[in-house]
Amino acid sequence: MSGLARRIGLFDATMAVMGGIVGSGIFVAPAIVARSAHSNAAILGVWLVGGAAAMLGAFIYSELSAARPAAGGQYVYLREAYHPAVAFLYGWALLLVIETGGMAANAITFARHFLALPIGENAVAAIAVGSLTVINCLGVSAGARVQSALMVVKILAIAALVTFGLFATAAPAAVPFSGGNSLGAALVPVLFSYGGWQTACFVAGEMKEPRRDLPRALVIGVAAVIVLYVAIAFVCLRVLGAERLAHTAAPALEVMTLAVGPRGASLIAAAIALSTLGFLSQSILTAPRVYFAMAEDGLFFRSVARVNRRTRAPVVAIALQGALTIAIALAGTFELILNYVTSIDFIFFALTAGAVFIFRKRGSTERKIPGHPVTTLAFIAVCAAVVISTFRQHPLQGVIGLCITLLGLPVFFLWRRRS
């Protein structure tokens, strides 16, 4: 894609992969998992299985990104494998629901843990999004540096949690508590917690060596997050035990309080705030490149493909996403929106994995997926299981999310006719 500057190296790309995954969810997800998987072995096993699924996804996207290292990532894979309409629907859902809804929710989470300003949490969320939007409009280098710095701080915060947890008094010998295990239900929040690695592919057009560095960043980043997540789950189990873990709303807070005392609450609150801020930074850095690619294809406002001559950043695309996110955050409707998007996100995951079969049949990819086609089919099966599970749990929200996505079809044909 012309106009964008290739300024992102392997380190920043790896931090983008990790930043897209690690948000505030990992600090509460261990408790949700423990309510379904009632033994230590089952709880840790679910986190390992979820990590394996994420690694399969990383290998799949590594092959796709090496073959098509262009700005837009998943949008490009869907466009070239299936039809521009499929890619447009993905970008449409990303802009209206998936990315902006997730960003608004994380911005509110940040505001709830950031008490320095004497104003409402919605206003704090809007300020956070606006500030990071301005930083990313200054150029991909500035955005990448901020994102990398925030990710390093998040890693240090998680390392502190794990270290203090290892030296805290352990819970009594764990025994499974009453109730049967539901490993399928436990796996859903784990897969959600591991999601987000694919967004690093959006900035392939601004990487110095995308064919070499992006596949490496995906695998290294996901592997590092697996280590961090399993370590957090282990520490929560060690300090709280399976039963207490299942009955707490804030496992990381309890671990730090038991390990360090009242000061632990302040430390973990700061860590959660930094994690959400890091997620916002990563989203603002990566996702606008999808809307940029849509506009370059003539399927969106031409101005969205505009690149600032000095900063070489797609400032209109970045500002558009920032404005929509701020609107959702100020309206406070993000909680409803988040229920709509889960199944839609995993439908596009499955379609993207299916693109591997199409590209290999055409002979247009390098073979980078270990165990293909078994492993690729296994990833698609996991995605299907998540979609089915979310539609069962939230049928109304699932249907609404599907309708919002499909409403993009007439918009696609309108834009295509116009262009």
Q: HSE-up of 349 (CA within 13 Å, CB side)? A: 32
- Give the pLDDT score at 227: 95
Strand partners, 8: 207
pTM of structure: 0.84
> Can you give the pLDDT at residue 1?
42
Q: Report how far residue 256's alpha carbon sits from residue 168's, in angstroms, rounded to the nearest whole number.
A: 9
Domains of the chain plus CATH, in order, are: 10-418 (1.20.1740.10)
Q: Classify 331 as helix, strand or coil.
A: helix
Alpha helices in 71-139 (DSSP H): 74-81, 84-93, 99-113, 121-137
Each of the 419 residues of the chain gets a pLDDT tens digit; together they read 456 767 788 888 898 899 888 877 788 889 888 888 878 888 999 999 999 999 999 999 999 988 888 878 899 999 999 999 999 999 999 998 888 877 887 787 787 767 665 677 778 888 888 888 888 888 777 777 887 888 888 888 888 889 988 888 777 655 555 545 667 777 878 888 888 888 888 888 888 888 889 899 999 999 999 999 999 999 999 999 888 898 887 888 888 888 888 887 787 778 778 778 888 888 888 889 899 989 988 888 888 988 888 878 888 999 999 998 888 878 764 455 556 677 888 899 999 999 999 999 998 778 889 999 999 999 999 999 888 888 887 788 888 888 989 999 999 998 888 77
Task: Give the model's pLDDT for residue 186.
Answer: 79
Which one-letter DSSP state was computed for residue 357?
Answer: H
pLDDT in tens, 22-53: 877 788 889 888 888 878 888 999 999 999 99
- What single DSSP character describes residue 170? P
pLDDT computed for residue 179 by the predictor: 47
Residue 207 phi, psi dihedral angles, 5° rounding: -90, 145
Residue 279 has what pLDDT? 82
| HSE value, Cβ hemisphere, 13 Å, CA-based, for 67 | 24
